[in-house]
Amino acid sequence: MKRREFLKISAALGAAGTMPTLLGGCAAKPLPGSGVVTTSPTICNMCFWQCAGTLYQEDGRPWKVVGHPDDPHCDGRLCTRGTGGIGAYLDPDRLRQPLLRVGKGGDQQFRAVSWEEAFDHIAQRMQAIAERHGKDRLALFSHGDGGNHFHRMLQAFGSHAYAHPSFAQCRGPRATAFALTYGESVGSPDRTDMGNSRCIVLIGSHIGENLHNSQVQSLARALDNGATLITVDPRFSVAASKSAHWLPIRPGTDIALLLAWMNVLINERLYDQDYVALHCNGFEQLVRHVQPFNPEWAYLETGIEPAKIRETARAMADAAPAALVHPGRHVTWYGDDTQRCRAIAILNALLGSWGRPGGFYSQEKVDLPEYPAPKPDKPATDWKAVLQPDFPLVGTGISNRLVERSVGADAFFKGWFVYATNLPMTLPGARDQIAAAAQSLDLVVVVDTMPAEITGFADVVLPECTYLERFDELRNKPERTPTLALRMPAFEPRYQSRPAWWMAKGIADRLGLGHYFPWQDLSEVLDWQLRQVGSSLDEMQKKGVKRFPRKGPIYFEPGRPIRFKTPSGKIELYSSLLADNGQDPLPRYTPPDRPPEGFFHLNYGRAPAHTFGRTINNPQLFELMPENAVWVHPSAAAWLDIASGDYVALENPNGRRSNRVRVRVTERIRPDSVFLVHGFGHTDGRQRLARNVGADDADLMHNVKIDPIAGSTGMRASFVTLKRVGKGELT
Ligand code: MGD
Ligand code: SF4
């Protein structure tokens, strides 16, 4: 199938109706306008793939953003969300000035204040917390690079605890499982070598709807080259529509399928015997472990025919080692997610794909020195051991745990800094808990570009300027080719908004910690760093992206042993660390909960026009997709007596109801499930486009399953029923 056809068919499938524009629309060289055209390099911040691009202005007015031709994250194209960057800059609902709460916590009443007053207030509250409770009682929640500056300021103060929701609500189980198996993680961008794969297995990864730019392009390249695509999904996703095999699995039974695939590869001796002998540890235990799990057993759990399980296992083996079982990205589903990700990691080892072309390549980044500034002291005790002792294998903060430790009489935390993360719509089913925490904390500082549900809980709201108005840290991600990219301001910050580094430095000054930020402007730091690697800010302002030579090979050298960073130095099929910590050392299948009578599995995913909730109010992207719809199978729709276009509210077994949402009747979903695009259903009245459009899946989650290894929140185990909503009603 040719790539053009791939895009055309994606477009025809509705869910990705804007695909041609997504990847094709901005590839052309921009034509100069009739006025004076100027350009500046940027890095897209509309999602976290961080594509480098160029902002064009005509006569000082924003014109367009296009992809950087030399950037490995985007290969010269931005997706639709990326081209919507100008909408974020122009959004009339943006936060305009610092705000201070008036009245009690939880009220949405603020007064505008100066930056000086906001900083003084924050510093005074921080010092009061330190005097009464200790310096370590502030937590940072952050999503995005700007959070690093607040992290530094808080560490200098004596508070080290932080959490990124991208761990416990997204990639945590994958990072944990691959580190346990291979001693290192998959990285971001993922180190998948999809463009060279001959067989790709997607397990609940809806690439194409979940639009990570270069990843979609490499999937399209693989399909152009004739790769076999196998998609495992209860829903007929866009990727499923491109697949040689679509396996509409019963929700929550993926580990059963993965075990059966291992059973076939091992018992039919289709696994890579040389690779396993050279690199792997625990093969004998794995062989014994998978014996009961043959395709006939798996059929009863998954609903996938035994013949299909065998056929797809053989297709992978035929293509191996250029066979890639994709590790997924948002993998927090049923609470046994580290086990499922371990099963995926092990399957890849049996196929010999880690370190091989068409599997997973080795990443490198630029050896970029840190700016010479004093380092905050290390904490006397390990805060992770104090706050999350039950998750000893996790090396980062667990956001849901930090929230739990902020509520109630014995709450550890007394203050929060929240940078660019909308916790009430991000932590599943935690809205009441967040409200309770915010009521009892002595300080909640929220740094955002937009009013959002979380800013409603703040004592102090600090308006950040958008990425088109600021310098940020250099992009230096592990990649195929080490690359640096620059984000610089194209415009002066609108209103009174300011960049995160400026705020963190200002608060540090108030606290007497200014020497941790010994520069006037972040550009000084960037220039110093660039000069250490033979470049300069001046050069990067012209180029935007600079590639550097690799130091090591991109794939394993055939036959050469590797020392993996695991306890045994080998790929651990049998995980000694899991065994030592009382967890299953080989993947265990746990049957999922089933919906009560009259309820459906609540399934959710992404759409190409939006990134979570952050883009819904963007005027450009709202126009493309102004609301979500709930997908319902025709048999379920007939039983409920509803039709496409009707409005319903979703209700969970505890009686919690969503905003109204339109019905979309489609055979692309299983009869036992419904599906929503995540990110809609904003309730904050200050986002004038986004408020009350569509339904929020996160607020309906009543059966959140905590992963016993990663501590992450399994978010696919909740159920809803559908209630008809009359004209004019919102819920
Ligand atoms: P976003 O929703 O992208 O991230 O959830 P979050 O971490 O909350 O954006 C949060 C806030 O960032 C918004 O209020 C936005 O205005 C603000 N923002 C945008 N740009 C900037 C900026 O430049 N500076 C500042 N200071 N603020 C900015 C994402 C999280 O959600 C993740 S990573 C995943 S994978 C999970 N996905 C998910 C799901 O699919 N379903 C459900 N139910 N829950 C989910 N939660 C998780
Ligand atoms: Fe921006 Fe799209 Fe790249 Fe994400 S994938 S950084 S939204 S262009």
User: Residue 349 C-alpha to ligand 1 middle, in angstroms?
Assistant: 33
Element (H, E) at 126: helix 115-133
DSSP assignment of 147-171: HHHHHHHHHHHT---EE-HHIIIII
Residue 57 has pLDDT above 70, yes or no: yes
Distance CA 532, CA 383 (A): 34
Same domain, 563 and 605: no
DSSP classification of residue 121: H
pLDDT at 658: 96
The Cα angle at residue 691 between residues 689 and 697, in degrees rounded to 5: 125
| Contact 448 CB / ligand 1 (< 6 Å) | yes
pLDDT bucket at 637, cuts 50 / 70 / 90: very high
Same domain, 717 and 573: no
Structural domain count, the chain:
2
Same domain, 281 and 195: yes
pLDDT tens sequence across 251-301: 999 999 999 999 999 999 999 999 999 999 999 999 999 999 999 999 999
User: Could you tell me if residue 463 is inside a domain?
Assistant: no
Q: State the residue range of the domain holding 718.
A: 600-724
Q: Is 546 helix (H, G, I), strand (E, B) or coil?
A: strand
* Average pLDDT taken over every residue of the chain: 93
pLDDT at 105: 59
Rounded to an integer, the average pLDDT of 69-91 is 95
Rounded to an integer, the average pLDDT of 623-631 is 97
Residue 45 has pLDDT above 90, yes or no: yes
Same domain, 253 and 324: yes
**Which is more confidently placed, 33 or 312?**
312
Looking at the CA of 47, name the nearest ligand: 2
Give me the half-sphere count of Cα atoms (radius 13 Å) on the Cβ side of residue 421: 25
Same domain, 561 and 649: no
Least confident of 13-27, 360-374, 469-483, 628-642: 13-27
Q: Is 637 helix (H, G, I), strand (E, B) or coil?
A: helix
Same domain, 256 and 326: yes
DSSP classification of residue 642: -
Burial 377-416 (b: 16+ CB within 10 A, else e): eebeeebbeebbeebebbebbbbbbbbbbbbeeebbbbbb
pLDDT at 287: 98
CATH number assigned to the domain comprising residue 619: 2.40.40.20
Least confident of 26-35, 528-537, 687-696: 26-35
pLDDT tens sequence across 599-620: 999 999 999 999 999 999 999 9
Same domain, 359 and 223: yes
| Cα 596 to chain centroid, rounded | 30
pLDDT tens sequence across 100-116: 999 765 567 899 999 99
| Contact 170 CB / ligand 1 (< 6 Å) | yes
User: Could you tell me if residue 667 is inside a domain?
Assistant: yes
User: Could you tell me if residue 107 is inside a domain?
Assistant: no
Same domain, 574 and 630: no
DSSP classification of residue 678: T
pTM: 0.94
User: Could you tell me if residue 207 is inside a domain?
Assistant: yes
Please choose, from the candidates 157, 124, 123, the residue with its C-alpha nearest in 3D space to the C-alpha of residue 513: 157
Boundary (domain end) residue, out of 519, 548, 580: 580
pLDDT at 19: 33
User: Could you tell me if residue 196 is inside a domain?
Assistant: yes
Distance CA 618, CA 323 (A): 39
Query: 621 is written with which tokens?
Result: 């992207």
pLDDT bucket at 304, cuts 50 / 70 / 90: very high
Residue 29 has pLDDT above 90, yes or no: no
Query: 314 is written with which tokens?
Result: 């053989």
Same domain, 291 and 338: yes
Percent of the chain whose predicted confidence (pLDDT) is above 70: 94
Query: 405 is written with which tokens?
Result: 């430790």
User: Residue 151 C-alpha to ligand 1 middle, in angstroms?
Assistant: 18
Same domain, 560 and 674: no
Same domain, 566 and 672: no
User: Residue 271 C-alpha to ligand 1 middle, in angstroms?
Assistant: 40
Residue 569 has pLDDT above 60, yes or no: yes
User: Could you tell me if residue 496 is inside a domain?
Assistant: no
Rounded to an integer, the average pLDDT of 304-324 is 98
| Contact 330 CB / ligand 1 (< 6 Å) | yes
Same domain, 662 and 564: no
Does residue 321 have a cis bond before it (omega within 30 degrees)? yes
Test site for ligand 2: of 45, 74, 215, 624, most ligand atoms within 8 A of the Cβ = 74
User: Could you tell me if residue 544 is inside a domain?
Assistant: no
pLDDT at 33: 65
Tell me phi and psi for residue 413, to 5 degrees: -85, 145
User: Residue 128 C-alpha to ligand 1 middle, in angstroms?
Assistant: 30
Residue 10 has pLDDT above 80, yes or no: no
Distance CA 489, CA 468 (A): 5
pLDDT bucket at 726, cuts 50 / 70 / 90: confident
User: Could you tell me if residue 684 is inside a domain?
Assistant: yes
Determine the atom of ligand 2 nearest the C-alpha atom of 77: 8
Distance CA 119, CA 542 (A): 35
Residue 634 has pLDDT above 70, yes or no: yes
Residue 728 has pLDDT above 80, yes or no: no
Give whole-number Cα distances, 597 to 45, 251, 424, 594, in Å.
Answer: 43, 16, 29, 9
pLDDT bucket at 18, cuts 50 / 70 / 90: very low
| Contact 212 CB / ligand 2 (< 6 Å) | yes
| Contact 315 CB / ligand 2 (< 6 Å) | no
Residue 240 has pLDDT above 90, yes or no: yes
Test site for ligand 1: of 46, 454, 487, 614, most ligand atoms within 8 A of the Cβ = 614
CATH number assigned to the domain comprising residue 324: 3.40.228.10
DSSP classification of residue 525: H
